[in-house]
Structure 1
Amino acid sequence: MASVWKRLQRVNKRAAKFQFTASFHQLIVESTSKWTPSKLSVVWTRRSRRVVTEPMLWEPTMMDPLRGIVVWAVPENKTISVTLFKDPRNHILEDKEWTFIIEDVSSGGKRRPLAMAVLNMNKFASIDSTQTQMNLEFKPCTKKIVSATLDLTLSCVFLREGKATDEDMQSMASLMSTNNNSDIAPLEDFDEEEEYDDGSIKNNISEVRAQIDQLTNSLSGSDFASTPMSVESLSWVNKDDLTPQAEDLPKPSLGSTLSSLQPNNLPDKVKKSSTNDSLTNLRNNLQPLNLNMNHNSNNNNNR
């Protein structure tokens, strides 16, 4: 919807496209005693468009250690294309601002903005090719920076002119959506960031270890374990409290098995049944008396 509204605003307007080239020569940044930059990079940006120089080492001067300088032995050039619109009533080019940002680049590649300066490009636009020497003053974005200046040469070349609604005359920033610059840290985080040395970090690590050891000891003395016991933790358990396994029981011998079958070791029911069986066998062995056989034997003896 925003792009449609912009196109409606450009109806009946003329547009001129220019090519601007910035040649960077020298950058001076003065910091505070609490912090000094490591590497610096200059960013030339508007909305989603962004051109960046290579990070250069910030070197303090002999006269003032807090005042550092970055020098490009060979000037680094960055080029952009800018479309400026002309009001049909007064034939004056409309304003279009581009921003120069000085960023500190850490060893890990994290970028933090330090200072910024706004440049209105219509003041340097010309049909004839021009070059302008500039000493650009920056406004600090953080309390860690006192001042910053940039020496550069700005060149302008006229490309073409046409209707503002022509596709080739529209600015790239108008055609692209907003950019998510997640690699740039917020200024508030940078201002409130504290400096830590190795000693304080080691002390903090020691305190954390002591707290972990104390917490571990308190948990080991409690009745309820928060985590399952490992194999090593089971070594102190009393073996008498464990449930016996089948392979741990003693194997019975043949002698003990036979002794267990003696009458004294048998249950009462078994004892009664064995007694009844013995009485039955005794009854079966008893025979009735034969009186005739005894009488015949006595007669023979008398003869």
Structure 2
Amino acid sequence: MSAQEDRELGQWLHDVLDVEQVELNYFRGIATPQGKGRSFGGQVVGQALMSAIRTVGEERPVHSLHAYFMRPGDATQPVLYQVERDRDGRSFATRRVIAVQGGKPILNLAASFHQAEPGLHHQSQMPDVPMPEDLKNEEELGAERAGDLPPLFLEWLNTPRPVEMRPIELRPPFQRGAREASQSMWMRVRGNLGDEPAMHRAALAYTSDFGLLGTCVLPFGKAFSDTDMQFASLDHAVWFHDDFRMDEWLLYTMDSTWAGGARGFNRGQIFTRDGRLVASTAQEGLVRNVGFKG
């Protein structure tokens, strides 16, 4: 992909996340450009977070969000976000956001903001993995294995996306077979997102939905493109620990501690390439095997 195409895709994501204020405490997120079908959950979370951020001063960056998906969204239509200003304290602020489409709520989100201050510090150590320059991205892997991949997955790979992902391990459908419920990948937004920290945090919320839910079905060799599987995010949480740029390489490590009852639970950690842990994630989702009889 050319540098010009990267810049255009980076601007695409910036425009998607840069919600428009339409009234006090009301914001509108644009429809997915050239979108179709069901909305990508990360986009709704990212727009909801940006709506909340727009009601809080820059001196208190967001440090956590918790979102529940209630209905599938329509990628071809804009979304209205209503923000409730629950609390503005001396150090912390809290916001609630309802995402509405077609007169019905599709997501609710709670976010907390904290004024930066010094404190005790420790963190998990980043795993020893190959650097992104030594890996192929998903589009390159798809071109190499096109004859073995499902058409639906190939179509998704060939659709221009603002986020580049370079997996450490090959997951289904690139490579089938049961494996441990963990995976890692390098990720970055293509192009340049600008210097507003809030935009980078919203972009991380957007990107953190990629791949996370699929971690819990790795022991079964399953993938989103499998026709006998039904996937849907139920809730999603992100904790922001430190500053970062989403247009620079970040390592996303994921694992799943449990799956059962047609649901799966997943966790993630996000590191900068110099080893700083800048965010943690968690998600539970529907992972229904349509043909499973028990």
TM-score, normalisation: structure 2: 0.24
TM-score, normalisation: structure 1: 0.24
